[in-house]
A and B are shown apart, each in its own frame.
Chain A
Amino acid sequence: MTRILWACAAAAIAASSGAIWAQQKSSADGIAEYRAMLADGNPAELFEAKGEALWKTRRGPKNSSLEACDLGKGPGVVKGAFVELPRYFADTGRVQDLESRLLSCSETLQGISAAETAATPFGRGEQSNMEALVAYISAASNGMRFNLPQRNPEERKMFELGKRAFFYRAGSHDFACASCHGEAGKRIRLQDLPELTKNPGDGVGFAAWPAYRVSSGELWSMQRRLNDCYRQQRFPYPGYASDVTIALGVYMGVNAKGAASVAPSIKR
């Protein structure tokens, strides 16, 4: 931990020169300029194209496409689905996020094992297909505003569970999600930390994922983002598309009601 802190400190110091206050302001501007320069020509588009092909391709033991998959707005309706997830699905009897829903649709329609996909490391095999599908489906709602339903009691229960999980301190460092994301105006080194207990604005926080991460050249879904948050909190990895991760999605998504989605976005 100390070594990592020193490495981060070294990186920050390497980037700094001149007065601290002036540097903080110009660094933020500099990074905003960098991000703006990358916005046009987001490699996430490569994943979107792959995802669209996967949605329409017959695959798996049942040799079927995903075009009959109901993402919450009716079978096969992709546009607008992303900004209403996670939500309750009657056919599975549970609240599901996008990744969870893709797992169950892939299994039901195509015969592809959800458990195996969930156990596959990120970026490999079926997981890389999941990333492409997540890019495609989120892109179809790009610019639309989050409007997660809370009509069903299960949805409201998951919101409460997500809120508790968000504030739950544990692990060797006694971190909770709230440690980083529970207050406005927080920062780690040069990264602004959005406050996720309320709507942090268009295209921020929950509204900015999935995203193409330039540091690894990979498309990170929300599930992967949460997995990495837990890693940074020194928690055990949550199960892929487990209830606690879906609950956190409900909590953040409901809090982000009205925020415009910019997914799939581009991040460092």
Chain B
Amino acid sequence: MADPMRIRAQASADKTTVRVLMAHEMETGQRKDAAGKVIPAWYIQQVHAKLNGKDVLSAQWGPAVAKNPFLQFMIKGAKAGDKVSVSWVDNRGDTRTDEALVT
């Protein structure tokens, strides 16, 4: 099971800024190990976010997204106490979901 994400969701005026750090290798499949063997591609392919259980964001990522990916997006009109959840699925089918309250 992958390490937890760090999610910060800060409300201000009419929008909430959500910043996420995900723990993932994001291996491109281009690199070779010391023995010359290709290190297999292993990367987050899909990201979804919900506000209070309702879908607000979906994204597709390729292996070019950096290791331990960072994501920032803005939700319209969320307020303190609302729940933001973020999930990812990688090319191996592994998945992780974490949530945080809007502050």
- Is chain B in direct contact with chain A in the complex (CB below 8 A)? yes
Asked if B81 is at the interface of the complex by the 8 Å CB criterion, the answer is no
Interface of B (DSSP majority class): loop
Q: Which of A42-50, A60-68, A241-249 contacts B (4 or more CB under 8 A)?
A: A42-50
Interchain nearest-CB distance for A262 vs B (Å): 18
Contact A40 B3 (CB under 8 A): no
Is there an interface contact between A217 and B4, defined as CB atoms closer than 8 Å? no
Is the Cβ of B4 less than 8 Å from the Cβ of A49? yes
Once the chains bind, are A46 and B67 in contact (CB under 8 Å)? Answer: no
Please name all residues of chain A whose beta carbon is closer than 8 Å to the beta carbon of B66 when the two chains form the complex: 214, 217
In whole Å, how far is A259's beta carbon from the nearest beta carbon of chain B?
27
**A214: chain B residues within 8 A (beta carbon):** 66
Q: Is the CB of B68 within 8 A of A43?
A: yes
* Cα–Cα, bound, A45→B5 (Å): 9
Contact of B19 among A40, A46, A49 (CB under 8 A): A40
Question: What chain A residues lie within 8 Å of B23 (beta carbons)?
Answer: 43, 46
Residue B21, interface by CB 8 Å: yes
Interface size of A as a range: 10 to 19
Tally chain B residues at the interface, Cβ within 8 Å: 12
Bound-state Cα–Cα, A255 to B72, Å: 39
Minimal Cβ-Cβ distance residue in A for B26: A217
Instruction: Kindly identify, within residues 1 to 39 of chain B, every residue whose CB is under 8 Å from any CB belonging to chain A.
Output: 3-4, 6, 19, 21, 23, 25
Chain A min CB distance to B19 (Å): 5
* B61 is an interface residue with CB less than 8 A from chain A: no
* 0/1 string, B71-102, CB within 8 A of A gives 1: 01000000000000000000000000000000
Contact present for B3 and A43 (CB under 8 Å) = no
A205-B19 Cα distance, complex, nearest whole Å: 28
B-side contacts of A49, CB under 8 Å: 3-4, 6
Given contacts A46-B21, A46-B23, contact A41 B3 (CB under 8 A): no
**A198 CB, nearest partner CB in chain B, Å:** 34
Complex alpha-carbon distance, A40 and B66, angstroms: 15
B28 to chain A, nearest CB (A): 12
Interface residues of B (CB under 8 A from A): 3-4, 6, 19, 21, 23, 25, 66-68, 70, 72
Interface residues of A (CB under 8 A from B): 40-43, 45-46, 49-50, 214, 217
Query: Known pairs A43-B70, A46-B23, A217-B68. 19 more at Cβ < 8 A?
Result: A40-B19, A41-B19, A41-B21, A41-B70, A41-B72, A43-B21, A43-B23, A43-B67, A43-B68, A45-B6, A45-B21, A46-B3, A46-B68, A49-B3, A49-B6, A214-B66, A217-B25, A217-B66, A217-B67
